[in-house]
Amino acid sequence: MTLTDKSNYGKELDRLLARVQKPARYSGGEWNSVSKDWEGTEIKIAFAFPDVYEVGMSHLGLQILYNTVNRRTDTLMERVFAPWGDMEDLLRQSRIPLLSLESQRPLGDFDILAFTLQYEMSFTNILNILDLAGIPLRSSDRLSGFPLVIAGGPCAFNPEPMAEFIDVFAIGEGEELFHDIINVYKSVRSRGKDQLLRELAMIQGIYVPGLYQVSYNSDGSVLEVSPREGAPVRVSKRVVQDYDRVTFPENPIVPNTSVVHDRIMLEVLRGCTRGCRFCQAGALYRPVREKSPETLIRQAELLVKNTGYDEISLTSLSSADYTGIGPLVRGLLDSMDNLGVGVSLPSLRVDAFSVDLARELQRVRRSSLTFAPEAGTQRLRDVINKGVTEKDLIEAVSAAFGAGWQAVKLYFMIGLPTETREDLDGIASLAGLVLKKGEELRVKRGRLKVTVSVSSFVPKSHTPFQWEPQNTIEELREKQMYLKSLIRDKRISLKWHDPEVSFLEGVIARGDRRLSATLEKAWKLGCRFDGWSECFNFRKWMTAFGDTGMDPRWYAHRRYQYDDRLPWGHVEAGVSRKFLVREHKKAMEASSTPDCRAGRCPGCGVCTDMEVKPEISGGGGCDPLQDQIF
Amino acid sequence: MTRYRIRYSKEGAARFISHLDMVRTFERVVRRASLPVSLSEGFNPHPKFGFGFPLPVGMAGLNEYVDLMLDSAMEPIQIVSSLEKAVPPGLRVTGACQVEQGSPALMAQVERSVYLVRAARAELPGEEELKKCMEDMMGAQEIIINRRKKDGRHVPFDIRPGLLAFTLKEEVAGVVIEMELITSSSLNVRPDEVIDAISERCGLLAGCHLDFIRTRITGRGGEDLFK
């Protein structure tokens, strides 16, 4: 059997598919999937999503890039997902490399292998995918004859822990950047990997970690990151030129098996102006840009026709913030209702307006509505700049109960900077208030339910809290137990996240390049799918830290000084350090910063740095401050 | 409302679409095909259609059926061409015919299925041995297998009454077993159970990689369900 004989792999794969759970994860052949002529297409790219099919196919970014790249006649993009344990075992036993879904080719046959970094806890899956493809893990071990390994997505904004494995990081929005990468690849690939990397490093938004030397202080902190061979000192993220007109997948792949988000994902806006100080997405996706209602209606109609889905989800970080969301929703319902197509919002703001909107949209009475007050007291909500008051929450849940909902879910975070006992007490008392409101509004006894879901704060790069220490596992556990002792009513159910997972997220989210060795060790010890509770093995992770001589607590619990050189300091999200410092100081004073939609520019620096402006449909918007005012 | 029976095949990647996912997939297919499909009543209306006997995950089917209700009558050929343009790779729509409105649900009409079981020649035992084994089984009074129940228990079950025909056919690529089984709601025998019985009784085929294909579904007494 030769390694490139496709028909052989089809047959071999068939035998494995007869023996795995959910074979549709690996078989491909979906509506709108693209199978191009292999020999006749110059550049071949595999897009690798480091989680199972059902998760990866729910990711809009995959659909966007698949569409963007496959529009080119000179390039093809195929997909691959992390195989679940049963499939991994079979692949290894049968000595079959991991194959792409479309043409069932080994990943090693592609020119470029592109990963998306959505979540720190999927990093071991990336190493596993490389290994299953027979591709050396480390960039320095891949001289010639291997695909160029690139990675993008939110976690690329602190690329350092993956720096040893990835040849090229793509920072920021990919719709235009991907074309630049392909164009340079086409013209330079014949001149060898080193030359290719040097040329790629000249593109705005491209970070080639191998061209940067990192030196450390004696206490282990970063002293300096020095570029060589002309690589830029700082890498700035990419933002698309014209968001309203950027290519959007109007014929997305429709999976044959049910996936997490099994509906049309219509992106109505990008970015978020609310400025919650813990939120990394809010920083990375600035500035806020909205698509015009005309574009959205046109795209919605095409999407329904091209997919056959019966539901459109208006996705973004905060869709209820879309200017004219009411008219948009009504317009969509008018044009879609006779087709039996529904419209939904993935997340709600904490206010009565959002609930009214949700009521208008619902066709099937969903069991519960979810709100995220995030913190239990007004003081702490001001610290994190979550512009929500108790009054907002009570109005929102009153509207929900009044409209017939019987269950409400509340999202909170523990371990936030400056948190005290009082803030935890506040979570319990807010939950109690919501319950009481349900009683008052005569929600049926036995049906009334409040779910309190408590996650643990993880400090993230590029946010005002990037300098803050994370609570220890013990502190988080103690807080969870304290909350449990406060919440005694059976109608309130309390859920929390595993603090060991949050701890590792925190370590990796603010990690440096020396963690590459730890990640490799953890993978070698068998860590996979670390975001899945049935797969997560904390002990193996701690062994990996020990064996590589790293202290994870130092990464998670240290407090950085404003002047410290941060491991991700050479990657720029456009939000200025000055702004982050000011926001951090304001947080410590529990002072809030208004939304830039309100018309006053808080001076985050994105618009001036990126030469962009917020695009708010119907004008509105605000003029970015040319000089930051302090 | 007019009721139509759609004949289709399910091969290649589409073999891995489970029955439940087929229902979802078909809903999307009819919507993409823009057929005047009748919707169910209620808050969350669904297109009205009903499948025949479920095809197990991984098995190809050459002549499968689904009944579809349309609000207005259409030429069957038009229905076929609309659907054919809307099905994912591996599914093919090969025919449509009108069905009497009041007749029982398709699922209730199915009584028999014909299967082909294919193996690469290298993996097959001697043809003569296999032939003899199959003849023995056809001559047996009962063929008891251990049927796995949903709760994981195994219970003895006689498949002989459900085994109607059993032949060995020669093909270019290898030898093919063809079997006709009862697949109704009151008695249902699966082709892999018949293969298990061959392995158990004669020590043949155990551990072979076999491809199962359903070639035909018929009604009572072998009656054609597609006219």
Query: For residue B33, what are its two tokens?
Result: 């095909």
- Give the pLDDT confidence of A128-154 residue by residue, as tens digits: 999 999 999 999 999 889 999 999 999
Taking only residues 32 to 51 of chain A, the set having a beta carbon closer than 8 angstroms to any beta carbon of chain B reads 33, 35
Query: For residue A523, what are its two tokens?
Result: 């993978």
Looking at the DSSP bridge assignments, the partners of residue B77 are none
Query: For residue A211, what are its two tokens?
Result: 């061209």
Shortest Cα distance, chain A CAs vs residue B139, angstroms:
32
Rg value, chain A, Cα: 24
Q: pLDDT at position B120, please?
A: 64
CA B62 to chain centroid, in Å, comes to 8
- A-interface mutation test, from B29, B30, B31, most A Cβ less than 10 A away: B31
In the sheet that holds A168-170, the strands lie side by side as A75-81, A43-49, A112-116, A148-152, A168-170, A206-207
Checking if the pLDDT of B183 tops 80, the result is yes
- Domain annotation covers residue A448: no
Give dist(CA A30, CA A471) in Å, integer: 45
What is the band of A355 on the pLDDT scale with cuts at 50, 70, 90? confident
Q: pLDDT at position A407, please?
A: 93
Contact A340 B57 (CB under 8 A): no
Q: pLDDT at position A630, please?
A: 37
- Domain annotation covers residue A410: no
For residues A116 and A151, the answer to whether their CB atoms sit within 8 Å is yes
- Give the pLDDT confidence of A161-213 residue by residue, as tens digits: 999 999 999 999 999 999 999 999 999 999 999 999 999 999 999 999 999 99
* Chain B residue numbers touching A340 (CB-CB < 8 A): 31, 39, 45
N residues, chain A: 630
Q: pLDDT at position B124, please?
A: 64
Give dist(CA A194, CA A211) in Å, integer: 10
Mean pLDDT of A302-306: 95
* Chain B residue numbers touching A35 (CB-CB < 8 A): 89
Angle at A48 between CA A46 and CA A51, to 5 degrees: 160
* Chain A residue numbers touching B45 (CB-CB < 8 A): 340
Specify the pTM: 0.94
- Residue B72 buriedness (CB in 10 A; 0-12 / 13-18 / 19+): exposed
For residues A231 and A206, the answer to whether their CB atoms sit within 8 Å is no
Checking if the pLDDT of A5 tops 70, the result is no
Give dist(CA B30, CA B4) in Å, integer: 13
Q: pLDDT at position B52, please?
A: 86
- Domain annotation covers residue A201: yes
Shortest Cα distance, chain A CAs vs residue B91, angstroms:
10
- Domain annotation covers residue A120: yes
* Chain B residue numbers touching A307 (CB-CB < 8 A): 28, 32
Checking if the pLDDT of B110 tops 80, the result is yes
Residue of B nearest to A103 (CA): B13
* Chain A residue numbers touching B14 (CB-CB < 8 A): 29, 256
Give dist(CA A193, CA A143) in Å, integer: 7
Residue type present at position A369: L
- State the span(s) of chain B assigned CATH 3.30.70.580: 2-108
Range from A577-581, A597-601, B165-169 carrying the lowest mean pLDDT: A597-601
Checking if the pLDDT of B136 tops 90, the result is yes
Query: For residue A161, what are its two tokens?
Result: 């822990």
What is the band of A367 on the pLDDT scale with cuts at 50, 70, 90? confident
Checking if the pLDDT of A3 tops 60, the result is no
Residue of A nearest to B35 (CA): A339
- Domain annotation covers residue A104: yes
Number of H helices, E strands in chain A: 22, 19
Give dist(CA A313, CA A291) in Å, integer: 15
What is the band of A270 on the pLDDT scale with cuts at 50, 70, 90? very high
Instruction: Evaluate the CA torsion angle A343, A344, A345, A351 in order and state its sign.
Output: positive
- State the span(s) of chain B assigned CATH 3.30.70.3190: 112-222
Q: What is the mean pLDDT of chain A?
A: 93
Provide the 3-class DSSP secondary structure of residue A209: helix
Query: For residue A446, what are its two tokens?
Result: 């036995």
Q: Please report, rounded to a whole number, the percentage of residues in chain A having pLDDT higher than 70.
A: 96
- Domain annotation covers residue A78: yes
Domain count, chain A: 1
Query: Within 10 A of A475 (CB to CB), how many other CB atoms are there?
Result: 16
Checking if the pLDDT of A424 tops 60, the result is yes
Checking if the pLDDT of A469 tops 90, the result is yes
Residues of chain B that touch chain A, judged by Cβ-Cβ distance less than 8 Å: 12-18, 21, 24-25, 27-32, 34, 39, 43-45, 57-58, 86-90, 209, 211
Task: Look at A348 and B140; give whichever has higher pLDDT.
Answer: B140
* Chain A residue numbers touching B15 (CB-CB < 8 A): 27
Residue the block writes with tokens 């690139």: A150
Contact B39 A254 (CB under 8 A): no
- Residue A150 buriedness (CB in 10 A; 0-12 / 13-18 / 19+): buried
Residue of B nearest to A301 (CA): B32
Range from A5-19, A92-106, A284-298, B38-52 carrying the lowest mean pLDDT: A5-19
Structural domain of residue A226, as residue ranges? 6-236
Query: For residue B10, what are its two tokens?
Result: 């399910």
Q: Which helix (H) or strand (E) holds A73?
A: none
Q: pLDDT at position A1, please?
A: 37
CB of A256 within 8 Å of a chain B CB? The answer is yes
For residues A415 and A480, the answer to whether their CB atoms sit within 8 Å is no
Give me the interface pTM, i.e. the ipTM: 0.91
Instruction: Evaluate the CA torsion angle A29, B66, B150, B111 in order and state its sign.
Output: negative
Give dist(CA A383, CA A276) in Å, integer: 9
Contact A306 B32 (CB under 8 A): yes
Contact A18 B44 (CB under 8 A): no
Q: pLDDT at position B208, please?
A: 80
Contact A24 B18 (CB under 8 A): yes
Checking if the pLDDT of A7 tops 60, the result is no
Size of interface A-B (CB pairs under 8 A): 76
- Domain annotation covers residue A129: yes
The class (CATH top level) of B112-222 is: alpha beta
Mean pLDDT of B116-130: 76
Contact B18 A30 (CB under 8 A): no
Instruction: Report the residue from A17, A35, A364 with minimal CB separation from B58.
Output: A17
- Residue A559 buriedness (CB in 10 A; 0-12 / 13-18 / 19+): exposed
Give dist(CA B196, CA B198) in Å, integer: 5
Residue of A nearest to B45 (CA): A340
Shortest Cα distance, chain B CAs vs residue A583, angstroms:
47
Task: Look at A529 and A601; give whichever has higher pLDDT.
Answer: A529
Checking if the pLDDT of B121 tops 70, the result is no
Instruction: Evaluate the CA torsion angle A531, A512, A471, A591 in order and state its sign.
Output: negative
- Give the pLDDT confidence of A205-258 residue by residue, as tens digits: 999 999 999 999 999 999 999 999 899 999 999 999 899 999 999 999 999 999
- Domain annotation covers residue A537: no
- Give the pLDDT confidence of A93-134 residue by residue, as tens digits: 999 999 999 999 999 999 999 999 999 999 999 999 999 999
Q: Which residues are within 8 A (CB) of A219 and not within 5 positions of it... i.e. 6 or more apart?
A: none
- Give the pLDDT confidence of A35-72 residue by residue, as tens digits: 999 999 999 999 999 999 999 999 999 999 999 999 99
Assess whether the previous peptide bond of A567 is cis (omega < 30° from 0). Answer: no
Number of H helices, E strands in chain B: 5, 10
CB of A577 within 8 Å of a chain B CB? The answer is no
Level-2 CATH architecture, domain B2-108 = 2-Layer Sandwich (3.30)
Give dist(CA A72, CA B73) in Å, integer: 42
